[in-house]
Structures are given as C-alpha cells and as structure tokens.
Amino acid sequence: MAVSLRQLYEGIRHAEEIQLVAGEAGLDHPVRWVHMVEGTDISSFLEGDEVAFATGIALKGAEDLLELVRYNQKQGAAGMVINVGPYIEEIPPEVIAFGNEKGFPVFRVPWRVHMANIMREFTTQINMDDFKEMEVEAALKNAIFLPENTDMYLPALKKHGYKKEWSYCVAVLEVCDKTGMRMTERFKKKLLRYASDFFRAYQRQSAVLENDGAMAVFFCNVTEDAVKEQLALFVGSVREYLSEDFCCYMGIGRCAGEAGKIAASFAQAEQVRRLQKKRGRKNEPVMYSELGLYKLLFSLENQEVMEEYYTETLGVLEKYDHVNETDYLYFLGKYFALDCSVQELAAQMHLHRNSVTYKLHKIEEILKLSVNDPADRTKLMVAFMIREIR
C-alpha cells in the first residue's frame, strides 16, 4: 500500500511552484521514497518506485539529461523532478517527448524554489502512508487471529476508512518456483510489494499481507467472482513481471458480511489454497463456494471422525500396499479420476483390459466393497476427498 505520485503532486502543487510537463499517464505509479540523482552512476542505486530529483550540476547538456531520464525510467523510478536554473536552462523537448511516450512523469521546478522543501513534503506524506499501512495490516491480522477481540481491529479499521458493516472477502495465494518450492525471502518481499500495488490499483482499500510464506489479499464490497477475475489477471500480470517460471496456488473465501467475519473468509481461503496445492492445480483461482461436498468435510470440527472414516476404507488399502509393495490405492484413484472407465484406465496404464479387471476385483476383495455399487463407490470417493484434505 504505497502512496501514488498523483497524491504527492496534488498535495503540494498549490503550496510549491511545481509543474507537471510530461508523463501524466504515469501519475498513479506508487512511490516509496525520494532520491537525489545527478548522474546515471547514482541511478544504479534505485530499487524502484522512487521519485528522482536532479539539479543538473553533474550534467553537461541536454543529451546527458535525456540519458539520465531514460536510465531512471529503466530503473523503475516513479517519476523525476528537474530543477530548472543555472545547470539546466529548460527541459528539452526530447525529454518531454520521452516522458509522454513512456508514461514517465517529469516535473519542472524553477531554481528559486527550494527542492529540499518538496523532498521533505514528499517524505512526510510517504511516512504517513507507511504508518497507515502498518496500522491497517496489524488490524487485519488481529481480525484474522483474534476475531472475538473487536477492540483490537475495529477502531483502527474505522480510523482509516474501513467500515464494520462492509462485506470483506479474503484470498490466499502461495507463489512457488517451477519445482514447487517457495520463493526466497528477497523475492517474496519484491512480489509482496508488486501484489500490493497491483490489487490496490484495482481497489484502493485492498490490502496484502504476508502470512506463513503465503499472501493474504483483502477486498471490500466486491463479489467472489470479481475477486476470482482479479486473481486470474494477477497471474497473467506476474508472468510478465517475473523473469523465471513460477506457479501459484490460490483460494478464495466467502464474502464476509461484516468485519467480524474476516477470520472465517481467511480460513476458507486457506483451506482451498492447501487443497489446490495438494491437487497440483496451478494458477487456478478457486472459490470456497465452488467446493461442493468438500465444504461439508471442512466444516467437521471432529477430525477424529474423518480419520476413522478414512482408516476404515482407503486406509485398509493403503496398509495393504505398504506391506505387499503394491499400488492398488493409486490404481483405484486413477480409476475414479477416469470416471470409472476400464478402457481408459487400461490405455493410460498400458495394461490389458483383463489385467485392469483383475486388479479391480482384487481391490474389492481387500476393501470388501464393490466399485460398481453406487453406495460403495460414493463411500470410497468421499474417502479420497478426505485423503486430499487430511
């Protein structure tokens, strides 16, 4: 949640003599700090989202200024403030054309204006926004983990414009590399910042928190379908942003009717995210409301009941495989995944149809259940669902 360059500009334009001369399309770029950048050697220290200030003291002419502006834009700067005076007589047309072409804001400040005043005002607004972000994040974490203690999050949320009666929806995302391993801490920090800017561009009140290696994204007064659409757009956007392959496991909780139910939406989203990862369903946002029978299983508070159910059904087959080094559990899972088609299973397993029939009969003997009986089949399929969420 970073303040935008537009907000910084609107907050100072009437108090200081500063003029936007190019790149209006980029005013919504987030800003996280300011930096004096008098040459391209200093530009290399930019990490992105800074406003670069320059007096031109180290520049030799218009070409050097254009090169500096280009380099700052390439380094991810939010925009550039140029002091017009003894070192830069005027901002050349080439710089203005570049700023408009790239959507890179360029501001003109006359020499009589103290640049330090503008930098101080910008940093004050940035620090205030950072403090707001910290308070909102702390409040949302309390809403998740201490939902009964409303005094620990409702006042802070109200202070920053979030209303108790709003509908809140939480999505949880886990981004991994192509091997399925979680990203490095440095990369997660970079991605968290990118995600915050992406979702905040969609909705100003959205927030992104890091939680146990995953990201929790909070939306206000939107539908679950709209959240699903935004997550799909985010995956597509990240593909362009990252220079390496990745996969993302995502879950979306129900829209909570009020702030006190944020915890429930988060828990549902986290359950779906874990299920998606176990299934290997990459880059596919799924809503809790789409889970069907899984919702009933997730709602069972007595986990011992599910364990007992599994042990009495597929647990028997799993134990048999372990003792006899067979693959009957995997084989039965493939059979159900292929809609109980013996022909399809034989083709995929490279077996004769009779071999498939023999193995299914053997499985029935072990389980004392029939894969062709509707009631027994349902019982086994529920057991496979429990296996997925155990």
Q: What is the pLDDT of residues 225-258, one digit of tens each?
A: 999 999 999 988 887 776 567 788 999 999 988 8
Say if residue 105's pLDDT is above 80: yes
Confirm whether 189 is domain-assigned: yes
Averaged pLDDT, 64-86: 95
Residue 179's pLDDT is 67
| Residue 213 pLDDT exceeds 90 | no
Report if residue 177 sits inside a domain. Answer: yes
How many Å apart are CA 342 and CA 354, to the nearest integer?
9
- What per-residue confidence (pLDDT) applies to 147? 93
pLDDT at 271 over 80: yes
Share of the chain above pLDDT 90, in %: 63
- Rounded to whole angstroms, the Cα distance separating 284 from 275 reads 12
- The top-scoring range by mean pLDDT among 90-94, 198-202, 279-283, 311-315 is 90-94
* Type of residue at 10: E
In a domain? residue 283: yes
pLDDT at 72: 96
pLDDT at 1 over 70: no
356 and 263 within one domain? no
Instruction: Give the pLDDT confidence score for residue 273 in this predicted structure.
Output: 94
Question: How many structural domains compose the chain?
Answer: 3
Contacts for 376-381 with beta carbons within 8 Å, 24 or more apart?
Answer: 377/336, 377/340, 379/313, 380/313, 380/314, 380/332, 380/336, 381/336
- pLDDT, residue 246, reads 77
For residue 64, pLDDT over 90 is answered with yes
Residue 130 lies in a domain: no
Per-residue pLDDT reduced to its tens digit, 122-167:
999 999 988 988 999 999 999 999 999 999 999 999 999 999 999 9
Q: Which of these three, 73, 106, 122, is where a domain ends?
A: 122
Q: How do beta strands 168-177 and 214-220 pair? A: antiparallel
Encode pLDDT of 111-134 as tens digits. 999 999 999 999 999 999 889 889
Q: Which domain holds residue 330?
A: 303-389
- Answer yes or no: pTM beyond 0.75: no
Structural domain ending residue among the three candidates 72, 96, 122: 122
**C-alpha distance across the termini of the chain, in Å:** 36
pLDDT category, 309, cuts 50, 70, 90?
confident
Flag whether pLDDT at 301 surpasses 70: no
- The pLDDT, as a whole number, for residue 201 is 83
Domain presence at residue 153: no
For 183, which DSSP code?
A: P
The confidence score (pLDDT) of residue 187 equals 78
The pLDDT value recorded for residue 212 is: 83
**Same domain? 188 vs 253:** yes
Q: How far apart are CA 284 and CA 14, in angstroms?
A: 47
Token pair of 217, please?
Answer: 């994204």
Same domain, 88 and 184: no
Residue 202 lies in a domain: yes
Q: Judge if 74 and 179 occupy the same domain.
A: no
CATH of the domain at 384: 1.10.10.2840
CA distances from 1 to 32, 44, 199, 205, 218 (A): 9, 25, 9, 9, 12
Average pLDDT along the chain: 90
342-349 vs 328-337: helix crossing angle, rounded to 10: 120
Q: How far is CA 365 from CA 13, 158, 174, 356, in A?
A: 81, 62, 41, 14
pLDDT of residue 173: 95
